Amino acid sequence: MGDVAKIGVRLNVGIIGATGIVGKTLVRVLREREFPVSDLHLYASPESEGKWVETPFGQLCIERLNKRKIPNHELVFIAADNDTARFWGIRFAHRGAIVIDKSSYFRNKAYAPLVVPEVNADVLDNHHRIIANPNCTTIPLVTALSPLNGAYKLKGFTAVSFQSVSGAGKDGMIALGRELEDDNAEPTTFPHRIAYNVIPWIGSNSSGFSGEEKKMINETRRILALPRLPIRATSVRVPVLIGHSLAVHADFKLSVNIKRAREILDEAPGVTLIDDPENNQYPMPLNAAGRDDVLIGRIRRDRGRHSLAFWISADNLRKGAATNAVQIAEVLLANKALGKPLDNSIP
């Protein structure tokens, strides 16, 4: 992007969870988008303290977080588990930093907006201290549904997700690699072997829905500001390394013109159409991995004039996580919410 570099400020940035798969991607995306970083500090679990890592910003040492001496960062990205996010997110926000969190801990908190910049950047105001990044399937889903909702008024949808092993972090990628090499390897990260398998249950929940399905439902409703939208969701883990896909069947209040719907999606920010199935051109995890846009294809009428079916693939580590977080920071910079002197007076 590069536009933010022209704003003329440079920020002191911290990343918690920097040794994880999202944290590492975040460092790369900050550099690729020329995000204006003056100092970059990397944090992880106590076990990683003192390790030197090669980054696009040079060799950096993983630092230890100390709650009695919270560093003065203007911007902190968190790419760690919920408990870590809660503990440090609140402390850094009190210290005056703006915190952009990738975990699910803040996603249902009224004080923390849940943001996909292409969809609801307008909910960000300059007083927000903690901003939540949605789930890695919710982000591409709402990026596709939002422009269609604007045109045809969404009435409800069914979505089935096909989620890669990197959605479970670096351990998920290691588990798939190990199982592919060794037919006798016991499952580690997942409840069953994931090699040559699919698992129709991601994350625990007591309601009959998996945790991942609940996130897709609740977060989509919040981001689209449609709190009672009927959503039927099934989330499935598949033996793909990077890239989540979704089969979506959506119903609308207004009649859908397929040609126009295709144009709307084609023009939508952050979306690229790959839609020529007769020539075997459609989105797949393999062509989504490494890209920042949401790929949409297989667009077709579903059942009657008020419905549409389509297929999405997106890189869960980029648009599903790191890129979305950096885009939020870019909006904050453009709004001048970032780049001001640190305000340590926020209670």
Ligand X SMILES: NC(=O)c1ccc[n+]([C@@H]2O[C@H](COP(=O)([O-])OP(=O)(O)OC[C@H]3O[C@@H](n4cnc5c(N)ncnc54)[C@H](OP(=O)(O)O)[C@@H]3O)[C@@H](O)[C@H]2O)c1
Applying CB under 6 A, does 115 fall inside the site for ligand X?
A: no
Least distance between ligand X and beta carbon 317 (Å): 5
Using CB under 6 A as the binding rule, whether residue 16 contacts ligand X is answered as: yes
Backbone phi and psi for residue 238, each to the nearest 5 degrees, phi listed first:
-125, 155
Residues in Cβ contact with 220 at an 8 Å cutoff, skipping those fewer than 6 apart: 138, 141, 142, 145, 226, 229, 231
- Give the rounded distance of the alpha carbon of 287 from its chain centre: 18
The contact pattern for ligand X, residues 158-197, with x = CB under 6 A and - = no contact, is --------xx-xxx--------------------------
Q: According to the binding rule CB under 6 A, does residue 136 interact with ligand X?
A: yes
Q: Alpha-carbon distance 70 to 87, whole Å?
A: 12
Distance separating alpha carbons of residues 79 and 168, to the nearest angstrom: 12
Examine residue 214 and tell whether it contacts ligand X (CB under 6 A). no
Beta strands in 229-329 (DSSP E): 231-237, 244-252, 271-273, 294-301, 307-314
The answer to whether the CB of 48 falls within 8 A of the CB of 24 is no
91 contacts ligand X (rule: CB under 6 A): no
| Total binding residues toward ligand X, as defined by CB under 6 A | 29
Among candidate residues 94, 136, 192, 306, the one labeled active-site is 136
* CA–CA distance, 215 with 191 (Å, rounded to integer): 20
Per CB under 6 A, contacts with ligand X among 239-298 are none
Q: Which member of 308, 317, 325, 333 binds ligand X (CB under 6 A)?
A: 317
Rounded CA-CA distance 31/93 in Å is 24
Q: CB of 41: closest distance to ligand X in angstroms?
A: 12
Q: Which of 84, 149, 161, 323 binds ligand X (CB under 6 A)?
A: 84
- Binding range to ligand X, per CB under 6 A, among 74-82, 183-191, 233-241, 335-343: 74-82
Rounded to whole angstroms, the Cα distance separating 76 from 63 reads: 14
Whether residue 127 lies in the annotated active site? no
Q: Which of 4, 40, 44, 114 binds ligand X (CB under 6 A)?
A: 44
Candidates 23, 96, 283, 285; binder of ligand X (CB under 6 A) is: 23
Q: In what order do the strands lie in the sheet with 98-101?
A: 52-55, 58-63, 37-43, 11-16, 75-78, 98-101, 130-132
Min dist CB 174 to ligand X, Å, is: 10
Indicate the angle between helix axes 138-152 and 211-224, nearest 10 degrees: 40
Report, in Å, the least distance between residue 311 CB and ligand X.
19
Closest separation in Å from C-beta 169 to ligand X: 3
**Any contact of residue 80 with ligand X (CB under 6 A)?**
yes
Rounded CA gap, 39 and 143, in Å? 32
| Site of interaction with ligand X (CB under 6 A) | 16-23, 43-45, 47-48, 79-81, 84, 102-103, 136, 166-167, 169-171, 316-317, 320-321
